[in-house]
Structure 1
Amino acid sequence: MGRKKKSNWKQWLDGIDQIKIERVEPPKEDRRLYTCYLNGSLCGTGPVEYVTELFRDYVETRGMYGQDEATFTIIAKEGVRVDDRKDNR
């Protein structure tokens, strides 16, 4: 019978001190306000979840109301956060 294969564990363990573990912070929640325009007309303003819901409702749920084309323009409101709104909807 042949010799047993040598384990590389010792080499691996000796090199483990050289491994650098970088702590990665999870992305912060996006609390910006967005304004959504559909074909140039105001469609709604709110957090990213709401604007995504507007888009999905129009495209998936409503089938684009039978239209072949739609133009969505989404604008982030700089410096404004969801928590900054007075009505806090």
Structure 2
Amino acid sequence: MIADNARYHHFKGIDDFLKGIENISFLYLPPYCSELNAIEHLWKNLRQAVIHNTVFEVFSQLIQQVKSHLDVLNLDKGKLKKLCYFIQ
């Protein structure tokens, strides 16, 4: 499992927890390497497409726009895969 370096991914009991589970180990991304973290590419796309230079009258409008954009990405699996894929 690939994990970033969030504190909750390094809790003291993680080794004991993983001992009972076969075939799962953590591969930690290097610190400050957002370009390797697939979700960061999705967040960037979301910010550019939905909230960049936009003022929403009410919070529910923002939520609706985010949901709408994610629905579009969900339908376009190729674009979603491209956003979340690290190209070396």
TM-score by length of 1: 0.28
Larger-Rg structure: 1
Q: Give 1 or 2: higher helix fraction.
A: 2
